[in-house]
Every structure is written in C-alpha cells, then in structure tokens.
Structure 1
Amino acid sequence: MTAPFPQKLVLALAQLNPTMGDVAGNLARARAARSEAAAAGADLVMFSELFLCAYPPEDLVLKPALQEACREALEEIARDTADGGPGVLIGLPWREDDKLYNSYALADGGRIEAIRHKVDLPNYGVFDEKRVFDAGPLPGPVVFRGVRIGIPICEDIWGPDPVECIAETGGEFLLVPNGSPYRRGVIDERLSVAVARVAEAGLPLIYLNQVGGQDELVFDGASFALNPDKRFAVQLPAFAETIAIITLVREGEGWRCLDGHTAKLPQGDEADYAACVLGLRDYVDKNRFPGVVLGLSGGIDSAICAAMAVDALGASRVHCVMMPYRYTSQDSLKDAKECAESLGVRYDIIPIAEPVEGFESALKPMFAGANRDITEENLQSRARGTLLMSISNKFGAMVVTTGNKSEMSVGYATLYGDMNGGYNPIKDLYKMEVYRLSALRNRWKPSGSLGPAGIVIPENIITKAPTAELRENQKDQDSLPPYEALDDILACLVEQEMRVSDIVARGHDVETVKKVERLLYIAEYKRRQAAPGVKVTHKNFGRDRRYPIVNRFRDAGRAAASRDEALYKTKGASVSADAFDF
C-alpha cells in the first residue's frame, strides 16, 4: 500500500548571526535552534548559506582544516537527528574529489540524506565566489519525509535556470538559503527576483537570509515567504535574530504557506542607521574588544559615531575623548561635553599643546627656513591619533574612526592622524547623509538600541558650519565645494562612473568637477590604508570599488600628469585635503 502524501510540513526558519570561522560556536547555535524548533513542533529547521563557517569566508574557505571542521560539524548534527526530532538543512563548504562547492546539506534520521551545490557563483560587486568555489550542476529536489523540496542557493534564484530545473523535476516548493548583504534598495530587489521565480515556477518560496556584521558587510536578515499567488505569507524582521515557525499545507496538487507574522521593515535612512549600528556592534564583539574609544571633537561626524557606538554597545563600553588645541572653539568644547552627557558615556579632556609643540621643536632644525603650512596643521591630527591609539593599547578598547565618505573620497583626512583606528561606522555615508541621519537619531530610537531616547546630538552640532579647527577660523568650505554639490559630484563619479561632461550637464561647474575627479584619484593610496567600515551604498570603498593607486587617466581629454597634479600627489603623501585649492 502506497503511503499517503504528507499534508503538512512545519518549518523553522533560523535567521541567525553566525561568526566567521567559529565552526564549534556555529554548530552550538544550530543545535540550540534545533532544540527550540523541536519544542515548537517543527519537522524541519533551516539555516542560512554556509552557516557552519559563516558567509563570506573568502580565502579562509581554502584551508583544508576549515573544510574538515565543517564536515565534522555536519556529521555531528546529522547524528543528532536520530532522535526523531526535526531534520536539518544547513550550509557548509563541501570538498568532493578535486572540487570545492558552496553546498547545502539535508540531515535526517541520524545521517546526511542529500547534498546540493550552488550553481550560479556571483562574481561582481562584493562577491568573488568563483575565486574559491566550483559551480555545481543544475539541482533536482531533495526528498524529506515524502516531500520533494527544491533548494536553490542564494544567487541561484537571480536567474531562471536552477528554479526551472527544480520545477521540471518535481519540486513542490522552494527553500532558498542566503548570505545576502545589505545595501540601499536590496530588499526590494530581492523581493522582485523572488516574485519572478514564483511566477515562473508556480511554487511557494521561502527565503532565509543571514543576519549580522562581517567586516564591511552587514547581513540584514529580512527573511520572507511567498505563496504561489505571489502574496506575502511571512516577513521576518530586519537586523535581528529570530527563529520563526512556518506551516506549509498541501492544497490539491500544490502547497501554500499559512499566514504568519509580518514584521515592519525599516526603510531608507532608518535602515542605513540600523546597518551601521549592527556592523559596528558585531565588529567589536566578534573581535572581542571590551569597548571603543573615539575622539569627540564637537563636530557632526564624531557625534554620530558616538551615538552609533552607544546604540551598538551601551554607554558603559564607549569612551569619548576631547583633545583641544589653541584653535578649538568654546562652542566645540561645549558641544562635545553636552553630547557626551546626553549619551551617558565616559568623557575625558586631554589637551594636545604639549605633544604638538614637542613635535614642532623636534622638527625645527630640519624645517629651518621653510614656511609654516599644512604640515604643522597635520601634527595636531597626528598627535590626536597617537593619543587615541595609546589609550587603545593601554586599555584594549578599539579606536573608532569617524571620517565620512565625502572626506575619504577627496582625501580630506590625515594619514596616521584622524584616519587612525580599527573600524568606521560612517565610512560609506556622504556628509549630507551624516547630517540627515543625525537629525533622524534625535527624533527616533532604533529598535534594539542600547542608547537613550531623545536628543543625543546637540542641535548646535547639526546647524553649525563644519570645520577641522586646524587653524584660525577654518571652515571645510574654505577647501571644498559646498557639501551638497560635492556629494552629488562624488556620487556621480563613484557610484555611477559618469563622464565629467555628463556631471557638468547636471548643473555643476566644470572646473570643480575636474578637481573633484582629480582628488578622488590621488586619494586612492589613503583609502587603501583606511580602516574598514560598514557598506550601505551600491559601491563602497573597499570590496566594491577597486581602483589602481598608480593611475594617470583623467576624463575629458585632460593632460595625464600635469605639474600641478604631481605637486598634489607629492603633498598628499603627508597632508590632508586642506592643501587642495578649491
């Protein structure tokens, strides 16, 4: 007698935050999630792409010892399934003969029942899977307790072929494990792709994404389930761990997900802020720093970094230091103190006159006869950077770097000074976005934030003109175009790779655009030495945008290496963009 077709499957989605390379820890998290799923009556528990080692492993995955550790961990959790509880779907690197795959395993009944390999290996933007993995064959479904389940892995749903193969070979629904990092607009893009696959295959689709920070990347979770009519059945929260139970039921010859919890997802600036906080938290915690230290100058960049740090770690783990010099205004002293008090952090003041003047005294014989210039200004920044690194060395706290994307683009930063540090939560935010997110944080406290509600960044910090305060009455706009114009030009050059002529057509001055382009190129060597930071835009500095340092190409047919440009490059080795002649 033929066994009846299963009429229901209870699935646990484990939207969790694995730690890169912590195979034992990730296995322990998977076991704990399986126990929770069993208590909830689940038949099957699903984990994200490469969960046992975490995603993306980069060249770490080439180590045979890591591959073996993941294989052993899979065998351990497979043995656990002999207890009659939930089966397990989990991702890991899988070595087979002379090939290494990005794979997904089904374990049930005490053994490994099936393995599926990723077919489409992404090799664009932040992804370079073809560097380390081999592509698998088109997949058929796996059979779990009489149900034929299709498992396209992440990128496999961004084109039609893997899902089409699953549907044609009898797949009854699609479970999609992912390691899909956050960037603006990506949540909507994922949904559009998933809807297209559902429309083509006529099958329910459950999309499970990793959550958490890994170096520059932040994984937002935001997992969901779609029914064959393309309607949402379930939406899990973004930027948070959760284990959700989804019930699938057979209706006639097909399946449908019963409606479950539908979380409201953060949008726009709220999502960017949440990504910056999660990225900073996980970088600090996963690297086991006890906390962070940062210079609080009274300016907008350090203020929002302090707020993000408190939201991520709590006030007790954040140490802010004001390091005044003769050009530090009373407004800056007042604003920094008020910001620190609003956030509830430890706040110290370390005057830098003595170390700066000591440097100048040591250099005086060599600099005899030379005029004072940007070199002496940068000694202030380097003294501050040295002090912060010394505090870090002594007490173990990581230095938070506070330069925004506008500054990093044009080199308006000092090597071994304000660029010192371990991680930068606003590295991928332009200056005007920093202002916008600061105003947002004053009226909105993010979900899961450890910081206080209400105004945490004094209004005067948001409204006053930005300045590095390295000389008397200095303003950023003495050296740079207005940030509204600069940010638009940079977005055109960096994110969109637009021609100079097309940027000018948007209403920008041609000479200003050319100068910004030049500064963008000659600051490349600085960015190579900058701390990592959270990616939120379509193209960040680091994993996305990879430009040569030696580079004489200039748009609009200009001479490649004029005497003026050579002078700027020579200066750039030791100066900030204060030297640039806007």
Structure 2
Amino acid sequence: MVKTNSKSVYYHLRVGLAQMNSVLGDFPENRDKIIQFIKKAEENRCDIVLFPEMAITGYPVQDLVYKQDFVENNLKIIDQLKPYVRNVIAVIGCITKVEKSKNKTTAPFYNSAAVLYPNGTTKYIHKHLLPNYDVFDEKRYFNEYKHFPLIKFEQLRIGLEICEDLWDKQYSVKVSKELKKRGANAIFIINASPYYIEKPKIREGLVKLDAKKYKIPFVYLNTVGGQDEIVYDGRSFVVDDSGRTIHRLKAFEEDFICFSLPIPVKEKFERTSLELIKNPKDLYKTDYLRIDTNEEIFKALVLNLRDYYYKTGIFKKIVLGLSGGIDSSFTAVIACHAVGPENVVGILMPSKFSSDHSVADAIQLCKNLGMEYIEVPIKKIHNVLDEEVREHYQVEEFSVADENLQSRIRGVLLMYYSNKFDALLVSTGNKSEIAVGYCTLYGDTNGGKNVPGDLYKVQIYEVADWINKNIKPTKSSNSKQLIPQNCIDKPPSAELKPNQTDQDSLPPYKILDAILYEMIENQKSIRSIIKMGYDAELVKRIEKLYHASEYKRAQLAQTIKITKKSFGLGYRFPIINRYHTTRQNI
C-alpha cells in the first residue's frame, strides 16, 4: 500500500532527468548533447530539466580547472545554451568563479549549477559541502557556499543540492534541513557520484531517510560513464514524500525520462496554473530496474574500459596476453564487450613450462568470443636470454628472478605490439595478487589499463560464473559456455617453473582474500584480524607481503574502481613506511 501525507494536497511538476555521459574537457560535445536533451524535455512538456554535476566540463576536472580559459570557456557554453531554453527551466552543472571580494581562500572557484530560465535570466547555485576523501579533492579547487537559495516555479519552491550536500552526516551544516527550513517543497540533487559495490543501495537509503524526515520528495540525478579509474553508474531515482522510490533510471547507460512529480503543499494555491493531483499513486512507476552484484561489476568494468578506450581517442584496438587462466580469460570477455571482438587481439606466449591445455583453453576462449589471436612461443627468446644472464652475471641457481624473466619477455612482446599497432595493452592482475606483490614489474604488470585489479580472486570466479550463465559464445563456436570450464577449474598458476601453482607461494584464495579484505577495506590491525580466528603467522606473513609491495603498486597501470578502497586515486599510502614493523615497540 502506498502511503502519502494525508494532510497535504498535491500538485504535479513535470520533471526531466538527463542522465548523460559527459566527456571531460570536450565542451562542444557536451554542449550538443545537452541541447538534444533540452529539446527532448521541451517536446515532453517538462517544467524543469536536470543535468548532472559538472555536465559541461565532466568530473573530476582536477588541475584542469587552473588551465587558462578553462572556466571561462565552460561559462561560454552556458551562454550558448540559453537560446535553446524556451519553455523549460534547465539546471546544468558547471564551474563558476568566486568574486574577488569574497575570495578569502586560495580556492577561486565554485562547483555550481546554472539555472537557466526561459526569459533569458540565469542564476547560479553553488555546492555547500566539499568532499575531501577517497577520490575527492574538492577543497583544493572550490569554495563552500554559505547561502541556501531556492528555485522558484509558480508558487512552488525547489531546493537544489550538489552531490556531497546530501551526505551531511560528518558536517555541521545540514543542507536538506536548511532548504526545508526556507520553504522547499521538494529537493533536487545533481550528482557525479562514483560507483562501488553497495554504493547504489547506500545512496538510495540515505535519500529515503531524508524524504521521510522532511516529508518532501527528492529527485536524485547521477551522471553515467567512465572517467579514468572511476565508474559512474547512473541509476538516478525519485523518492516521494513518504520515502517510497517511484522511479529509477537505467544502470550504466545514458537515459532520459520525463515524469510527473507529486509535490505536497499544506493548502491549495489561490491562483496557479499548476495542476492538482487527486491520487499521487496514479503517477507512480513500479517496474524497477534492478540488477545483481555480479552483473553490476560486469557492466561497470565494460563501461569504464569502453569510455577509456574511446574518450582518449588514441587507440585502434585492445591487446592482452592470454594464458588460458581465469584472470586473462575474464579480461578478454570484458574487452570484447567493451569495444567489440573485432577490435581485440590476444597474444598467446607459451614457454617451456606452459601446459598444452593452457594454450588450447586460450584458443577456445578466442573462438568463443570471435576475437583474433596470435601465438608467439617464447622458448627460443628465453633460452637466449637465459644463456646471456648466466654467462655475464655468473649465476647457476634457478630462482624467482629466472621465473620473472619469462614474464618480462612477454611484457616486451606485448608492449611491442601495443607500440607498433597503436593498441591499448590491458593488464590482467587481480587485487589479491597486486596486494601481496604476486606480479612482475615490467612483465605482467605492463599496460595502459588494468581491468580486474580491484577484484579479489574469489570475486572474479563469481563474476565469471555469472558470465557463463548469462552470455553465450558466438554462433560459430561449438562450445556451450563462454569461458571454458577448464579455465575456471584448473588450479591458478603463473607457469613459470615446472608444476607450479599459486598455492605454492600463497594460501588458498578464499583465506587470502578474507584476510586482505579486513586489512585493506576495513583497515584492521593484524591483532584484530588474528582475533577473528585466522592463523597468527599467516596474517603476519600476508601483512609483510602487503607492505613490501607498496613500491610495486605505485607503478601499476590504472585500474577500475569497483570497491570502496581500490589501489588508485583514493589510496594514499607512503612507500617508505616502517609503522607496520615498529609499532610493536610503542
């Protein structure tokens, strides 16, 4: 049963949501896309249309904001959009300058929303709360806004928030409360809110709580797309004054809707063109667009890699090394769905330690995906290099350095192909391996982009299972599932020495991942992790590997952020760090 505020009367406002994918810094393309959405909003007789945070510039702009004319040119776009705003109010995310007389800090800009009215006037509303954690660094660039203006439409008053303004728990200023206090009948929020697992549920829950608390509807618009390591999942939504979600937009896709928003007021307006709603629930849309976590992860990786490939505009194809293992197989699937199998090439580089089934599994995967593959055996190259290092370095014993020589040969061959054919080399290391340094610098870590680097090994198996249940091989393949079962079932191995498996050096991934999760995501001490029941010596060993690999992580290709704590923009740990070894003396 749908509950509404029985003491109120309801008017409806026609609202358009443009869940758009901006290209950072491409003002003309973003402008043209905004124009098309404005036209669509007017065709659908919207009263107001919303665009995401920094829709004109893309987000986050980082130090681009200091480039000469960058902010001025983004404001020129506002002027170029005005002629297209004829019968609708358009709210568009942008950047504005702080007036010199008010610039008491070193941050000369506002994170703003331009409110364009059909009569040609423009008003600006600025962001109040500035995030300075994880991937965010807004206090470096922007000033906090201290006022709470409202958007007026007839007798209705709309409060506007920009992203962090919603997440006010850690701030003394409560923006929703201030807007409600000033008479807001509804609150609209424009966002560039990055995705991580569980984030959609958290943000929607937060909005529902505020809607119930303040007894007004909330409209949440998010951007969509990939920007460097960040994924924006879209999934905008609308919550009514009782906290019920009444609309959701698509996940990981551009989308547009125009809908009637029921807005409660205490009593009827005497003179207005606004239409009354007798039964608000008649306007509710209940075919919610929900997807499970594994599908979310798959779509997030595909979206980010696709946008990275096309938005950079410098690559002609994607190349990756294929070993027949789960990580490279998983990465190949993501790459083919991101840019099409015709634009992906797999390089198979078997050594004298490679098993026959590894090559066969990799070839079967390529056939299942319909992608090109090239086999380049490295036995001859390896033998030559092996003889040279033994002669000149006077070494005999086979060690880890000799194992890694093979990985580095493969890295050279992959980088040659990348360089020669303008291909984006994607690396295939997972978060478990990266965390403990089970990877080779200038070998399997080579690349311009890493795909599964924010997924623990166990998560990769889970998403691979979803892939095989939901995505079929090409029609020309005689296989029943996309990723060959042998790629999943075989014990993980780098195949750098005879009969090698990952568990020769590491504990089972189920245990390793659980310990790493507490260490990385929850930042727990080894004492706390040991108290959870894990073997003390094992925990200490894993922590030692984790800290000893910090210098490796500092040099890795950018990955795709899927978890709350990824190795990337929001991960800021020093390489020189003895705290983990000296703290027991404190």
- Give the whole-Å Cα distance in 2 for the aligned partners of 1:111 and 1:6: 29
- Give the whole-Å Cα distance in 2 for the aligned partners of 1:329 and 1:496: 39
Deviation at 1:557, TM superposition (A): 5.0
> Are 2:105 and 1:94 equivalent residues in the alignment?
no
TM-score, scaled relative to structure 1:
0.90
Mapping for residues 325-336 of structure 1, pairs under 5 Å: 325-336=351-362
Which residue of 1 is the match for residue 134 of structure 2? 125
Q: Which among 464, 467, 471 is matched to residue 441 of structure 1? A: 467
- Give the whole-Å Cα distance in 2 for the aligned partners of 1:452 and 1:74: 55
- Give a deviation string over 1:240-289, Cα, whole Å, max 9, x none: 11111121245554896832364322222221222111111111111122
Query: What secondary structure, in the 3-state scheme, does the structure 1 residue paired with 2:449 have?
Result: coil
> Are 2:402 and 1:376 equivalent residues in the alignment?
yes
Query: What secondary structure, in the 3-state scheme, does the structure 2 residue paired with 1:45 have?
Result: strand
Query: What secondary structure, in the 3-state scheme, does the structure 2 residue paired with 1:116 have?
Result: strand
**Structure 1: runs of 5+ lacking an equivalent:** 561-582
Q: Which among 26, 32, 45 is matched to residue 36 of structure 2? A: 32
Mapping for residues 79-228 of structure 1, pairs under 5 Å: 79-81=83-85, 84-97=86-99, 98=103, 99-109=108-118, 111-159=120-168, 161-228=174-241
Q: Which stretch shows the higher mean deviation, 202-211 or 498-507?
A: 498-507
Which residue of 2 is the match for residue 532 of structure 1? 558
Q: Which stretch shows the higher mean deviation, 525-534 or 240-249?
A: 240-249
Which residue of 1 is the match for residue 285 of structure 2? 260
Query: What secondary structure, in the 3-state scheme, does the structure 2 residue paired with 1:400 have?
Result: strand
> Are 2:561 and 1:548 equivalent residues in the alignment?
no
> Contact 1:78–1:88 at 8 Å: present in 2 too?
no
Output the aligned Cα RMSD: 2.2
> Are 2:14 and 1:10 equivalent residues in the alignment?
yes
Deviation at 1:357, TM superposition (A): 2.7
> Are 2:468 and 1:455 equivalent residues in the alignment?
no
> Contact 2:111–2:126 at 8 Å: present in 1 too?
yes
> Contact 2:56–2:74 at 8 Å: present in 1 too?
yes
CA 1:207–1:365: 2 relative to 1, 3 Å: same
Deviation at 1:359, TM superposition (A): 2.5
Which residue of 2 is the match for residue 408 of structure 1? 434
- Give the whole-Å Cα distance in 2 for the aligned partners of 1:291 and 1:35: 35
CA 1:321–1:181: 2 relative to 1, 3 Å: same
CA 1:369–1:141: 2 relative to 1, 3 Å: closer
CA 1:299–1:469: 2 relative to 1, 3 Å: same
CA 1:427–1:369: 2 relative to 1, 3 Å: closer
TM-score, scaled relative to structure 2:
0.90
Mapping for residues 386-397 of structure 1, pairs under 5 Å: 386-397=412-423
CA 1:45–1:66: 2 relative to 1, 3 Å: same
Which residue of 1 is the match for residue 510 of structure 2? 484
Deviation at 1:144, TM superposition (A): 3.6
Q: Which among 298, 301, 305 is matched to residue 276 of structure 1? A: 301
- Give the whole-Å Cα distance in 2 for the aligned partners of 1:557 and 1:96: 45
- Give the whole-Å Cα distance in 1 for the aligned partners of 2:555 and 2:460: 22
Percent identity of the aligned residues? 37
**Structure 2: runs of 5+ lacking an equivalent:** 1-8, 268-276
> Contact 2:185–2:263 at 8 Å: present in 1 too?
no
Amino acid at match of 2:308: Y
Which residue of 2 is the match for residue 579 of structure 1? none
Query: What secondary structure, in the 3-state scheme, does the structure 1 residue paired with 2:427 have?
Result: coil
Deviation at 1:356, TM superposition (A): 2.1
Which residue of 1 is the match for residue 26 of structure 2? 22
- Give the whole-Å Cα distance in 2 for the aligned partners of 1:369 and 1:248: 75
Q: Which among 324, 345, 366 is matched to residue 340 of structure 1? A: 366
- Give the whole-Å Cα distance in 1 for the aligned partners of 2:291 and 2:230: 18
- Give a deviation string over 1:59-87, Cα, whole Å, max 9, x none: 22232421111100011112322xx2322
Query: What secondary structure, in the 3-state scheme, does the structure 2 residue paired with 1:76 have?
Result: helix
Amino acid at match of 1:280: L
Deviation at 1:452, TM superposition (A): 12
Amino acid at match of 1:114: K
- Give the whole-Å Cα distance in 2 for the aligned partners of 1:87 and 1:300: 51
Query: What secondary structure, in the 3-state scheme, does the structure 1 residue paired with 2:23 have?
Result: coil
Deviation at 1:202, TM superposition (A): 1.6
Mapping for residues 426-437 of structure 1, pairs under 5 Å: 426-437=452-463
Which residue of 2 is the match for residue 570 of structure 1? none
Deviation at 1:129, TM superposition (A): 1.0
Deviation at 1:290, TM superposition (A): 2.4
Deviation at 1:322, TM superposition (A): 0.5
